[in-house]
Amino acid sequence: MKRLSTLLILSFILFTSCSDKVLDANEIMGTWNWISSSGGIAGDTFTPESTGDNIILEFTRDSVYKEYLNDSLIIETDFSIIKSKSIYDHDSTKVLVLDSGMVSRSIVFESPNDLILRDEMYDGFSRHYRRIK
């Protein structure tokens, strides 16, 4: 009985440690400039030069996500970062969740100043951003 209790407790600890958890968002704080987007069914690539659009993302210390298109605020919503299983590698990864109900995006840092946000959906887009400040 003691062995069964120990096994149950260990199983519970393991299960709860693998579940989604809110993570520290310090890495992503700041302002980011859009460099390119690629993906979708056709596998297209878009850049500011090809679209004429300038996109800026801002992540504030009070967990607010702001997205600007050509200097106009188009989205402002709360955000969190959780650890969740990714559709890309089926491994646990950091995922950006926006309260506005937009598609969750996995977070990849190529360097401290290069951010890739990947739509957590098949035929989604990967968006590359560079830190401004």
Kindly report whether the global pTM for this prediction surpasses the value 0.75.
yes
Helices then strands, counting H and E runs in the chain, come out as 2, 9
Q: What are the sequence ranges of the domains in the chain?
A: 20-131
Q: Which fold has domain 20-131?
A: Lipocalin (2.40.128)
Q: State the pLDDT at residue 36.
A: 98
CB neighbours of 42 closer than 8 A, spacing ≥ 6?
A: none
The candidate with the shortest Cα–Cα distance to 127, out of 40, 52, 14, 4, is 40
CA pair distance 133, 119, nearest whole angstrom: 24
Q: State the pLDDT at residue 18.
A: 41
Q: State the pLDDT at residue 128.
A: 98
Q: State the pLDDT at residue 130.
A: 98
What is the CB neighbour count within 10 angstroms for residue 114? 14
Sign for the pseudo-dihedral over CA of 68, 72, 74, 77? positive
What does each of the 133 residues of the chain score in pLDDT, given as a tens digit?
445 343 333 333 333 344 445 556 688 999 999 999 999 999 999 999 999 999 999 999 999 999 999 999 999 999 999 999 888 777 789 999 999 888 899 999 999 999 999 999 988 999 999 999 7
DSSP bridge pairs for 126:
38, 118
Tokens of 98: 């926006």
